[in-house]
A and B are shown apart, each in its own frame.
Chain A
Amino acid sequence: MGFVKLVVFGFIGLTVIYWSISLFSRSVRKERLENEFDAEHPDGGASGARDAFIADGLKAYDASIRPKLIGLVYIVPTVVVAAIAYTINAN
Chain B
Amino acid sequence: MQRVKTIFRVIVLLVLGLYFHYILPQHDIVKVTSTEIIRTDFSAFNRIFYAQADSGAAEQPTRDLRLINTQKQNTFLLGFIPRDSSSVMVYRNEDTGWIYPPYFKFDSADLQAEAANLARGDEWVVVTHYGWRIRWASVYPNAVGVRAVSGPDVTIIPWFNIFFFIFLMAAVLFVRAAWRQFRERSVDPLLDAAGDQIDEVQAGVAERKGRFSRWLGTWRAKK
Please give the residue numbers on chain A whose beta carbons come within 8 Å of chain B beta carbons, in ascending order: 2-3, 5-6, 20-21, 24, 27-28, 30-31, 81, 84-85, 88-89, 91
Q: Which 10 A-B pairs have the closest CB atoms?
A: A2-B98, A85-B104, A24-B178, A6-B98, A89-B107, A2-B97, A3-B98, A88-B105, A2-B99, A27-B181
Give the residues in chain A near B105, CB-CB below 8 Å.
88-89
A2–B104 CA distance with the chains assembled, in angstroms = 11
CB of B185 within 8 A of CB of A31, answer: yes
> A84: which B residues are within 8 A, CB to CB?
102-104
> Which residues of B are interface residues toward A (Cβ below 8 A)?
55, 97-99, 102-107, 110, 114, 144-145, 174, 177-178, 181-182, 185
- Interface pair B185/A89, CB less than 8 Å apart: no
Tell me the complex Cα distance, A85–B106, Å: 8
Q: For the complex, what is the distance from the CA of A32 to the CA of B107, rounded to whole Å?
A: 51
Contacts of B55 in A (CB 8 A): 2
Q: Are A89 and B98 in contact (CB under 8 A)?
A: no
Take A2-B55, A6-B98 as given contacts and tell me if A27 and B185 are in contact as well, using a CB distance cutoff of 8 Å: yes
Q: Are A88 and B185 in contact (CB under 8 A)?
A: no
